[in-house]
Amino acid sequence: MARGRARNQQGRVTLTSRGSWQISYYVYLTDAATNKPKRHHRARIVGRKPSMRKVDAEEILRQELRIIGSSPTSRPADGTMTFGEWMRTVYIPMRGANWRDATVRSNHDYLDRYIYPVFGCVALNDITKFSVQMLLNKMANEGYSYWVVYHVRDLIKAGLAEAVDQDVLEKNVARKTVVPEIEERDKNVLPIEMYGQLLARIEDVRDRAIFLIGCFCALRPSELFALTWESCQGSVFKVMNTAWRGQFQPKKIKRKNRYGGSNFRWVAIPDIVQEAIEQWRRQAKNTAPDALMFPAEKRAQFLGPKPMLADNWARLRLYPIAKQLGMKFRPSFQVLRRSFSTHGKSNGHPTDMQAQLGHTDPRTTLDFYTRTLGPEVLAMVNQIANQILGLGRKDAGSIQ
């Protein structure tokens, strides 16, 4: 391995001028030319001070030092290590510390299913630009989506980039590979007339609130089913928690920018959605500030309060209604978010729409405008909701 011989060092944890914790240490790698150990400095950002304690950063440093010093023997950094061994013993232990649970699962799935069968037993030195590009071409020809091919390329490129950074390889052969031309799959958009028809057949108060939040607040399902009652602050949601596979993850929202910005975002709530939320609040069993707005009732009897599974709700509560109405596609939460953006593109400035959807591009715009929610965003979501549902102003009546 390219870890070099074990040495006794403690490393350092420092606070940068931008308020981030940075760990730094040295690795000693055998120079292929001189066959002597050569010291290399390593440093990286592991988290922001507001969301990470120094002791947590020190624990990450100790884990990396443990990996560096875990081998009693030194192995020349000559690229003879296989790609699979490199990823499992060096890259993932180093970079996987900050991966979310969903990222861990998806990355391991990409590696096990698509990358290891081709490059798992191939030495790093033997991987060529041609072999990487041929894998991407083969996947494109077999009908894989653009994003699957993109993530496979991204993992290979990232693994080889780390090998270059540690002087194991001279260059990253995957850097200039490209994702082939792939026919874009149909991206369904919910027709305007279907909103009222779906809403008219949803009788349960809770389900109406979930549907309207998904339609006009355009939350991701992981954000929607992690909402607590204190998240609802009048005309806005303060979104800062997520739910993954029925597990509540407090303060796990994706950060808004690459520099580790705030770990929450504001989402405007249209008037019609506020009314639905208040109707559900009057019927909900637990409306304590830290209680989930939409807990899984059956699971709560045995496991305590747990977030509802988004797929289960859609499969049991929404898709059967869509099928009765003769819809040719399922109105998933992704479809609802896309439909909101499509129907509302002429009603608000692009930065207002991106603030509502929680997107990170353009980065410069969002870094400034998503920290506070201006009245124009609330006006935009009300205009879209009223236009689609055929409503007038707030005092014009309510949807039945």
The answer to whether residues 51 and 171 belong to one domain is no
Dump pLDDT digits (tens) for 216-230: 988 889 889 989 999
What is the domain range of residue 106? 79-185
The answer to whether residues 50 and 62 belong to one domain is yes
End position of a domain, from candidates 77, 97, 120: 77
The answer to whether residues 8 and 154 belong to one domain is no
The answer to whether residues 242 and 365 belong to one domain is yes
The answer to whether residues 69 and 162 belong to one domain is no
The answer to whether residues 131 and 155 belong to one domain is yes
End position of a domain, from candidates 25, 42, 77: 77
Q: Compare 369 and 303 and report the one with higher pLDDT.
A: 303
How many structural domains are present in the chain?
Answer: 3
The answer to which of 72-76, 85-89, 303-307, 359-363 has the lowest mean pLDDT is 72-76
pLDDT band for 71, please (50, 70, 90 cuts). very low
The pTM assigned to this predicted structure is: 0.63
Q: Report the CATH number that the domain containing residue 129 is assigned in CATH.
A: 1.10.150.130
In the chain the first and final C-alpha atoms are separated, in Å, by 67
End position of a domain, from candidates 77, 107, 123: 77
The answer to whether residues 73 and 105 belong to one domain is no
Q: Compare 187 and 346 and report the one with higher pLDDT.
A: 187
The answer to whether residues 227 and 248 belong to one domain is yes
The answer to whether residues 279 and 390 belong to one domain is yes
The answer to whether residues 245 and 340 belong to one domain is yes
CB of 256 closer than 8 Å to CB of 262 = yes
The answer to whether residues 217 and 366 belong to one domain is yes
Rounded to whole angstroms, how far apart are CA atoms 28 and 22?
20
Q: Examine the pLDDT at 7 and tell me if it is beyond 80.
A: no
Dump pLDDT digits (tens) for 238-286: 888 888 877 887 766 655 444 445 578 888 899 999 999 999 999 988 8
Tell me, what's the pLDDT at 371? Answer: 39
Q: Report the CATH number that the domain containing residue 240 is assigned in CATH.
A: 1.10.443.10
The answer to whether residues 124 and 207 belong to one domain is no
Q: Compare 236 and 392 and report the one with higher pLDDT.
A: 236
